[in-house]
Structure 1
Amino acid sequence: MNSLMISRRFLGSLPKPSPLHEHIQNPEPRRRRTPASYLHGTSTVPLRNETLGETLRNTTERLPDKEFCAFLKYPIRKTYQEFYHDVRKMAASLYTLGLEKGDRVGVWGPNYYEWVVLQYATAFAGLIQVNVNPHYLHEELRFVMRKTGMKALFAPKRHKHSNYIHTLIEAMPEMRRGKPGVGHIKSHDIPDLRHIVLFGDDLPVVGAWVYSDILNAGGSAERIKLEEMDYKLRPDAPVNMQFTSGTTGHPKGATLTHFALNNNAYFTGLRLGWDQGDHRICIPNPLYHCFGCAVGVINAVNHGQTVIFPSKSYHVPDIFEAIQNEKCTSMFGTPTMFIDVLKSPLMEKYDTSSLKGGVIGGAPCPTALCEKMVKDMNMTDFAVIYGSTETSPLVTMSELSQDPFERIKSVGTCMPHTELAIVDEFGVPVEQGVKGELWSRGYSTMVGYWADQDKTNLAVTGDRWYKTGDTAVMNEDKTISIVGRTRDMIVKGGENVYPTEIEQFMHKLEYIADAHVVGVPDDRYGENICAWVRLRDNFEGKITSQRIIQDCKAGMAHYKVPKYVLIKKETEFPLTISGKVKKFEIQKISKEILGLGTVKSHFAENLNN
């Protein structure tokens, strides 16, 4: 029997179609009545296929004598040509440490000129810079070094209350056995680390190289190797790793490429109008964060503009001095930074009239704050940005063609060459105007979390959609409003804080039996941290909230330390039927106990708009 006869016999056995009227009586499948919440940021401007080093070289050839940066507390000023010279010199010298393409190099510390030199030197040399949070203490530092397998670490000796030498010795006691000015290290706990290099001054420290000695170490062989790397290095190569707080108690290393960082910064600058005119950008944000090193520095390099760093770490008076003395035209900041500036009595003493615009992001932006930025600081060309480390970083941004008082109502529109979708629990786009989780896809999505495929798979779908974890709404004009979070992350003054990380630390304290952490509203930071703690029976009445806060300060970065600690008995924790703690109830009760009922977080304000 041939295949045709089989097919006919099979078809003949199927039931006949129902009459037309039966179909009409059946319910129609549900269809959308409004457009789906999906956007594609189409653009006639092509993506740039350049490494970070190529872009710096091109800008330097075009504008060699233009001022690139000013670090006002050194003081250090560098033109593009001078900066390029320092970068190439350090890039070649990195090879004297035995570093090879793809090796990880940690840069740990606040806003130093050396930080920016290393950002581009590692890029030229084909290495991966690991941005290490300057607030990390020895346990956090040890984890990052082990996780990344970093071969070298650069850091200042000390800054304000941070003694980096002391923290390094806590993480690697083997340093004590070293010789002054010799940074070879062999650590049992951190086996991949080979070199420690300290900057800030030229005085030798045991177990560490002096930065200036390394800077001048490169010879002809290293320069030849660097020139060879210029031809070998691809824009798709990873160049930077930034750690985000982890819901499982450990931070995750988002790995980003030349291509992603460079293009995201380039298109950010286009929206800001930095491709035209001269702009002097005041950056009080930390360099270890994407806001400072990508939206700020890489953006400026793409468009040949000048970056001004008021101080090594955030300090309001230095911001005012920088704006007035340097005639800054733009200012970067988180909502907390702008709140501090606008509330400062220095507003009446300093001339800020040179400001025309700026960038605000890193946390939800209160509408009232943005209005004051326009009215009180004349920042009519400011932009609200939204993104995450995992997306290099921006996925939405204001368009300056929109009226500034309309601009502040959202986080802007889709970035060029990026897709956005607001989806339901099945990953299907919801109707426009309906809340859902914001997903993004495009060239800027991270390669993945370093050495953690499981967490990468949770964050990025098989078809490369990144799940932001934020709840959003797509408005009629295609702008995006962030209205909450699907995860329990706390955004404190621009820092992402995960309760699980704090809870796991607190469980290590011998007197704590249980701990649960939530975010509560805060006038300055938007959100702050509140911990409910149950003490072990033999410590009840002996441990105070202040003691717990002090112990947290000794073991965690300061931005993770709870502002409030409420000591509770086991019966006071609200539970579900299955015995799980109801954090929503804890949050509600905490607001009542702490008298925060009238204080609105940035998220609460957005929900009411």
Structure 2
Amino acid sequence: MEDPTLALVHGPKEPHLVFETLGKLMDRQAAQFPDHPAAIFPWQAVRLSYRQLVDRSKNFAKALLEMGLRHGDCVGIMAGNCHQYLEVFLGGARIGCPVFVFNNTYTPEELRNAVNTSKASVSSSDILNLQFTSGTTGSPKAAMLTHVNLINDARFVGAGLKLTSDDVICCPPPLFHCFGLVMGFLASFCYGSTIVFPSDFFDAKKVVDAIVEEDATVLLGVPTMYVAELEVMAKTGQRPRRLRTGLASGSAVSQDLMNELRNRMGVEKMLIAYGMTETSPVTFLTDINDSDEKRTNTVGRVFPHTSAKIIDKNGKILPSGQRGEICTSGFALQKGYWKNEEKTAEVMRKDENGLLWMHTGDEGIIDQEEYLQITGRIKDLIIRGGENIFPREIEERITAHPSISEASVVGVQDSRYGEVVGCFLKIADKQDQVSDEDVKRWVSEKLGRHKTPQYIFWIGNVDVGVDFPKTGSGKHQKHIMRDIANQLISRDTIKAKL
């Protein structure tokens, strides 16, 4: 019998898992919702019903076969959020051709490497999608995701959002990422909802226009997207009529941002999702009935047919309430990394009972109510003179400052302590005046002196850059920020000695 005090949780056994292909799901939805709008692309002036979208996917599948592609051959796509993207994805799925989705922010070298990686036929007929990881560190790897992975993950996301055919989902996140493709399109498709892709690339003004003009009920995005959309609404005076909920992922949503979304957009309940590309991508989700405290400080409870645990460096399960690495198991786990058994073995390992676990590299806490709190990336941990500092705690304090909209905390090199705290900050309003000393004082009022930033880098300064370095899905690339910080500090040190 399991020890109830351990940080080990199991999701419910209901609803049951669905074992069907996306092709069967397409035919079923086209029969049930033939003339209902499935996908709208205002920037292309295209509106597709369920029947039209499925018919177009059949035409694309036929074209692939006529080109000589056969079951198991890979199809690649690199594009913005266009209707052709869905047709390629669905068409490939219909004839058993896994679809490689290429990040459209890739450099030519990154794209060349990705294309070379994808050149092969597969024998695993149940692979639906080959999704490149975000690449926040190191070279991207392609996660092999199956029909069972993606369809069921989309079902559970849609259930959390309580989607119906009456819902209109506004989806700015990119289709080349699981957020747009699975949490957006597939979740909508599973419930007969309508999804709107406002622009090919993120454009806050077009998102706000689409929310209003299409009368959206659900909005998806990462926190930086929501901040930009609120800024547009403040300038234009636009206000949604029936937005009821939203879904955020990628980073924490502060209570202040929650309040702004409620007051200015009418979003009463914002849900927070957690997972990774390798887990299809969601494994934890908050509930509409959760308190604001749970929805700002946790990522909810584990999905059905999913288990999770918190372990120490030796793989031992920790007690509830203690920090450690998050591991997940269950239906959502990838089959592995495409043509990369070594990397697969690094992160997917069986326990003493033969159960396969994904070692996420994320650090978190599972409390006694079985809610998960993310405390950061293990690799992002700052060790200052032997003392562990968790960047997320500092980021949450800094973004509570009324004049700061975004913050990213990294460890920077220091000859005395090994590492010290550095932070990259973005002003909410260009007219606000905030000094380095203001920030340091703000942090030190609530946190220990060792957590107060020693170096502050302001986004917008010539040497720092016009924006945070981000992946195509909007995640901050801390390894790049660390390099920028260390270069600037080294340069200033040399100047001081001259």
Indicate the TM-score class for this superposition, using the shorter chain for normalisation: 0.7 to 0.9
Q: Which amino acid aligns with 1:242?
A: Q
- 1:84 corresponds in structure 2 to 54
Q: 1:341 to 1:435 in 2, by over 3 A?
A: same
TM-score (norm 1): 0.63
- 1:319 corresponds in structure 2 to 207
Determine helix, strand or coil for the equivalent of 1:487.
Answer: helix
Q: Which amino acid aligns with 1:72?
A: P
TM-score (norm 2): 0.76
Match runs of 1:298-317 below 5 Å: 298-317=186-205
- 1:180 corresponds in structure 2 to none
Q: Is contact 1:422–1:435 with CA below 8 Å preserved after alignment?
A: yes
Determine helix, strand or coil for the equivalent of 1:461.
Answer: strand
- 1:433 corresponds in structure 2 to 321
Q: 1-side partners of 2:230 and 2:473: how far apart?
A: 27
- 2:138 corresponds in structure 1 to 249
Q: 1:547 to 1:141 in 2, by over 3 A?
A: farther
Counterpart check, 1:400 vs 2:288: yes
Counterpart check, 1:383 vs 2:286: no
Q: 2-side partners of 1:429 and 1:100: how far apart?
A: 46
Match runs of 1:409-448 below 5 Å: 409-448=297-336
- 1:41 corresponds in structure 2 to 11
- 1:266 corresponds in structure 2 to 155
In the TM superposition, residue 34 of structure 1 has moved relative to its aligned partner by 6.5
Count of aligned pairs:
418
Q: 1-side partners of 2:368 and 2:137: how far apart?
A: 37
Counterpart check, 1:75 vs 2:6: no
Q: Is contact 2:29–2:192 with CA below 8 Å preserved after alignment?
A: yes
Q: 1:101 to 1:33 in 2, by over 3 A?
A: closer
Q: Which amino acid aligns with 1:80?
A: Y
In the TM superposition, residue 485 of structure 1 has moved relative to its aligned partner by 1.3
Q: Which amino acid aligns with 1:453?
A: E
What are the ranges of 5 or more consecutive residues in structure 2 without an aligned counterpart? 382-390, 396-407, 411-418, 429-454, 456-460
Q: 1:102 to 1:319 in 2, by over 3 A?
A: same
Q: 1-side partners of 2:427 and 2:88: how far apart?
A: 33
Q: 1-side partners of 2:21 and 2:279: how far apart?
A: 17
Q: Is contact 2:275–2:281 with CA below 8 Å preserved after alignment?
A: yes
- 2:340 corresponds in structure 1 to 452
Deviation track 1:6-31 (CA, whole Å, cap 9, x = no partner) reads: xxxxxxxxxxxxxxxxxxxxxxxxxx
Q: 1-side partners of 2:58 and 2:422: how far apart?
A: 45
Q: 2-side partners of 1:279 and 1:404: how far apart?
A: 23
Task: Decide which of 90, 97, 112 is 1:142's aligned counterpart.
Answer: 112
Task: Decide which of 334, 339, 359 is 2:222's aligned counterpart.
Answer: 334
Q: Which amino acid aligns with 2:53?
A: F
Q: Which amino acid aligns with 2:47?
A: R
Determine helix, strand or coil for the equivalent of 2:379.
Answer: coil
In the TM superposition, residue 368 of structure 1 has moved relative to its aligned partner by 2.3
In the TM superposition, residue 33 of structure 1 has moved relative to its aligned partner by 9.1
Q: Which amino acid aligns with 1:522?
A: L
Deviation track 1:118-140 (CA, whole Å, cap 9, x = no partner) reads: 11111101011111000112100
In the TM superposition, residue 369 of structure 1 has moved relative to its aligned partner by 1.5
Counterpart check, 1:99 vs 2:69: yes
- 2:372 corresponds in structure 1 to 480
Q: Is contact 2:129–2:145 with CA below 8 Å preserved after alignment?
A: yes
- 1:198 corresponds in structure 2 to none
- 1:361 corresponds in structure 2 to 249
Q: Is contact 2:168–2:216 with CA below 8 Å preserved after alignment?
A: yes
Q: Is contact 1:439–1:466 with CA below 8 Å preserved after alignment?
A: yes
Q: 1:365 to 1:69 in 2, by over 3 A?
A: same
Q: 1:144 to 1:519 in 2, by over 3 A?
A: farther
- 2:425 corresponds in structure 1 to 522
Q: Which amino acid aligns with 2:30?
A: T
Q: 2-side partners of 1:381 and 1:100: how far apart?
A: 45
- 1:464 corresponds in structure 2 to 356
Q: 2-side partners of 1:344 and 1:353: how far apart?
A: 16
Deviation track 1:226-266 (CA, whole Å, cap 9, x = no partner) reads: xxxxxxx99x7111111125587321111100110000001
In the TM superposition, residue 524 of structure 1 has moved relative to its aligned partner by 7.7
Deviation track 1:490-520 (CA, whole Å, cap 9, x = no partner) reads: 999xxxx9x9xxxxxxxxxxxxxxxx9x984
Task: Decide which of 271, 282, 295 is 2:170's aligned counterpart.
Answer: 282
Q: Is contact 2:18–2:148 with CA below 8 Å preserved after alignment?
A: yes
Match runs of 1:142-181 below 5 Å: 142-149=112-119
Q: 1-side partners of 2:491 and 2:69: how far apart?
A: 53
Q: 1-side partners of 2:134 and 2:160: how far apart?
A: 29
Q: Is contact 2:328–2:359 with CA below 8 Å preserved after alignment?
A: yes
In the TM superposition, residue 523 of structure 1 has moved relative to its aligned partner by 4.0
Counterpart check, 1:124 vs 2:94: yes
Q: 2-side partners of 1:472 and 1:352: how far apart?
A: 35
CA RMSD between the two structures = 3.5
Q: Which amino acid aligns with 1:485?
A: R
In the TM superposition, residue 404 of structure 1 has moved relative to its aligned partner by 4.2
Counterpart check, 1:111 vs 2:14: no
Q: Is contact 1:136–1:557 with CA below 8 Å preserved after alignment?
A: no
- 2:435 corresponds in structure 1 to none
Q: 2-side partners of 1:328 and 1:460: how far apart?
A: 39
Task: Decide which of 20, 40, 58 is 2:28's aligned counterpart.
Answer: 58
Deviation track 1:383-404 (CA, whole Å, cap 9, x = no partner) reads: 1101100000001001112234
More off after superposition, 340-349 vs 55-64: 340-349
Q: Is contact 1:422–1:436 with CA below 8 Å preserved after alignment?
A: yes
Determine helix, strand or coil for the equivalent of 1:344.
Answer: helix
In the TM superposition, residue 43 of structure 1 has moved relative to its aligned partner by 2.6
Determine helix, strand or coil for the equivalent of 2:356.
Answer: coil
In the TM superposition, residue 373 of structure 1 has moved relative to its aligned partner by 1.8
Q: 2-side partners of 1:306 and 1:81: how far apart?
A: 13
Q: 2-side partners of 1:46 and 1:336: how far apart?
A: 35
Q: Which amino acid aligns with 1:259?
A: V
In the TM superposition, residue 546 of structure 1 has moved relative to its aligned partner by 6.7
Q: 2-side partners of 1:401 and 1:567: how far apart?
A: 46
Q: Is contact 2:365–2:375 with CA below 8 Å preserved after alignment?
A: yes
In the TM superposition, residue 410 of structure 1 has moved relative to its aligned partner by 1.0
Q: 2-side partners of 1:524 and 1:269: how far apart?
A: 35
Q: 2-side partners of 1:56 and 1:440: how far apart?
A: 29
Q: Is contact 2:165–2:194 with CA below 8 Å preserved after alignment?
A: no
In the TM superposition, residue 549 of structure 1 has moved relative to its aligned partner by 7.7
Deviation track 1:408-461 (CA, whole Å, cap 9, x = no partner) reads: 321111011100111111222211111111100011100111111111011111
Counterpart check, 1:373 vs 2:261: yes
Q: Which amino acid aligns with 2:377?
A: R
Determine helix, strand or coil for the equivalent of 1:73.
Answer: helix
Q: 1-side partners of 2:70 and 2:9: how far apart?
A: 41
Q: Is contact 1:64–1:80 with CA below 8 Å preserved after alignment?
A: yes
- 1:214 corresponds in structure 2 to none
Q: Is contact 1:320–1:346 with CA below 8 Å preserved after alignment?
A: no
Q: 2-side partners of 1:548 and 1:349: how far apart?
A: 32
Q: 1-side partners of 2:463 and 2:270: how far apart?
A: 43
Q: Is contact 1:392–1:444 with CA below 8 Å preserved after alignment?
A: yes
